[in-house]
Amino acid sequence: MNIFNCMKHLFFLFFLPYLVLSQEFYPGFLSELDSPICYNTSAELSFQTLPSGAVDKTYNYQWQKSWNQSNWFDIDGANSINYTTNFLNNDTYYRVVVTNQNIDVFTNTISVYVLPPLVAGVLMDIDSICNNSINPIYFEINPYGAELNWGGFSEFSYAWQQGNINNSDIINLNTVDWIYVGNDSNIHTPNVDAGLYCFRCIISSPYGCGTVVTDAIIIQVNDCFNSELDDIDLNREIIHKLNILGQNANKKSLMINVYNDGFIEKKYILR
């Protein structure tokens, strides 16, 4: 046996086992999500292609997450081929460390994009309007959120509600009987008789990310053709104070006194 053959046998004797044991396997491939998820919801993650190539076909799994794709953190208890995330409020990245015989191989990284929360917006504060006229209620701040940051949608669904307020000193927005009066438009034109009313709008997201409701506004609808100008101005001032003080304050009780020659003529309480 010449020296070359001896060296060849020695190579296979000492290095072949090492080459077999250190051979990397295919870690599998994670499935990408088809669409972003809603704010504060979870996602089901899984393999599109399972690991293969290991001689004993025994694999261990450790799911990891990251917010910047640089720093990765093991997820406690996430050791199977499927993983359900926690409720997410930020974009998060995931991968799996697949192990066979103390050899770690990483899968591809997948992204879970999270839509911003749905916000109802703010209705324009309108003190009073005349009946039998075109006086629409519209948004001062339009609804937003629950849409992609790149391009977006704005195709929100709108459901307007109206509450009738009887001739009472107590205006409790928590106990108003709301009725639906209009849909699928970001404006609403009331068609009501003279009186005191409150309005709000329910917003639904295009991604099925739930619904939110605006704060209610109180509007005095006047019979402008049969009322005295002073009465209309007085009503307008009352509702103006109610709307300003009542914005986002349904949990509080607010009292408004209307004076006439030094005496309390009318007392309004907003709860």
Domains of the chain by range and CATH?
Answer: 21-112 (2.60.40.10), 122-270 (2.60.40.10)
Mean pLDDT of 109-123: 94
| Backbone torsions φ then ψ of 242, nearest 5 degrees | -60, -45
pLDDT at residue 74 tops 70:
yes
pTM of the model: 0.66
What pLDDT is attached to residue 60? 97
Please state the rounded mean pLDDT for residues 36-50.
Answer: 96
Least confident of 2-11, 22-31, 144-153: 2-11
Judge contact between 94 and 83, C-beta under 8 A: yes
Mean pLDDT of 248-264: 38
pLDDT band at 235 (very low <50, low <70, confident <90, very high): low
d(CA 204, CA 146): 9
Does the structure show a pLDDT above 80 at 234? no
- In this prediction, residue 68 carries a pLDDT of 96
Mean pLDDT over 173-199 rounds to: 88
**Would you say 61 and 46 are in contact if contact means Cβ atoms under 8 Å apart?**
no
**What pLDDT sits at residue 191?**
87
- State percent of the chain over pLDDT 70: 69
Structure tokens at 89: 């409020």
Distance between CA atoms of residues 72 and 117, nearest Å: 26
Other CB atoms within 10 Å distance of the CB of residue 187: 13
Task: Report yes or no: 91 and 81 within 8 Å, Cβ to Cβ.
Answer: no
